[in-house]
Amino acid sequence: MIQKHALLLAITLLATPLAAQNASPFQNAETGRNYRSLQQAVDSIADDEGTIIIAPGTYRQCAIQTAGVVAFRASVPGQVIFDAVTCEGKAALVLRGQAATIDGIIFQNMRVPDANGAGIRLEKGNLTVTRAIFRNSEQGILTAEDRSGLISIDQSTFSGLGRCDRGLSCAHSIYIGGYGSLTVTNSRFERGNGGHYVKSRAARVSITDNAFDDTRGRETNYMIDLPNGAVGSIARNVFVQGASKENYSAFITVAPEGRQQSSVGLSISANEASIAPGVDRQTTFLADWSGDRIALGGNRLGRGLKPFERR
């Protein structure tokens, strides 16, 4: 009888999601204490520096960071999912501390009344994102303005994001406000649902070694939009523009909303850009409104693409 009960218990545990098995899945790595809610774990760090280790599972929770330096780390990358729940009508993680790091976490199905539902809403401080997935939401990452702040995104995927409907301002896969710098490396952008894949008002950008696959995009706009200009580098990326575009007139734009900061010396090189097979159109790789001296060259462009247009 005891053996039968043990067997039934083992079967039940195997069939139960890991998050449900672990009643306290959020651990403060410094103290070793576990918490039932993500917000409790964040509050335990307060204005100090600490790491929250998250057990595998799907969570319908969110959290707000108001101080300190907090790292949110999946104990098993790719097996921690935050699904559909936002704080303050903004995002799964609302960050306004000194700095935050996100590693190995999936954010999905984020929608809010103002149509800007995001995995991460960054309002202040530095942000580092690695091995994360943002999918099937209105936005992936959305930020406010922090001219001293630095943002780094690496080895991450942005899929099924963005929108330009309901008469509201567009949402984008990534929308960076007036930050000091944005670095995006080794990441993938695909299947956009409107807006731009990367829209950044950061003064400096480094967008390198990424893939922008728009072949299954719907009513999308630019691959990279620097609406007020920027210095830095856009290099070694692969771009494919799809058929369904709200605006197909350019792949990359500089200062289309007005030159508010310098783009002198912005380097755009060693990229590969093409239009999807079966799509017959003429378009421009780089459209520039800034009038600044931009270093453009060494890019491999497919049929129908001219390198540059001053607008």
The pLDDT value recorded for residue 164 is: 93
Handedness of CA 274, 295, 192, 103 (dihedral sign): positive
Q: Which phi-psi region, left, alpha or beta, contains residue 260 (left: φ > 0; alpha: ψ -120 to 50)? A: alpha
CA dist 8 and 152 (Å) reads 47
C-alpha distances in Å from residue 254, one per residue of 135, 200, 222, 230, 260: 27, 10, 11, 8, 11
CA dist 7 and 162 (Å) reads 47
CA dist 127 and 89 (Å) reads 20
Residue-wise pLDDT tens digits, 73-90: 999 999 999 999 999 999
The pLDDT value recorded for residue 21 is: 53
Q: Are the C-beta atoms of 29 and 52 separated by less than 8 Å?
A: yes
pTM confidence score: 0.93
Report the number of secondary-structure helices (H) and strands (E) in the chain: 3, 32
Residue-wise pLDDT tens digits, 204-238: 999 999 999 999 999 999 999 999 999 999 999 99
The pLDDT value recorded for residue 174 is: 98
Which H or E run includes 238? Answer: strand 238-241
CA dist 71 and 65 (Å) reads 11
The pLDDT value recorded for residue 11 is: 32
Token pair of 93 as six digits = 């993680």
C-alpha 148 chain-centroid distance: 20
Q: Which regions in the chain score pLDDT beneath 70?
A: 1-21
**Phi and psi angles of residue 5, each rounded to the nearest 5 degrees, phi first:** -65, -40
Task: Find tokens 């009960």 and name the residue.
Answer: 5
Which H or E run includes 41? Answer: helix 38-45
The pLDDT value recorded for residue 166 is: 84
Q: Which phi-psi region, left, alpha or beta, contains residue 102 (left: φ > 0; alpha: ψ -120 to 50)? A: beta
Which H or E run includes 11? Answer: helix 2-15
Start-to-end C-alpha separation, the chain:
80
- Classify residue 230 by its DSSP letter: -
Count the Cβ atoms, other than its own, within 10 Å of residue 235. Answer: 17
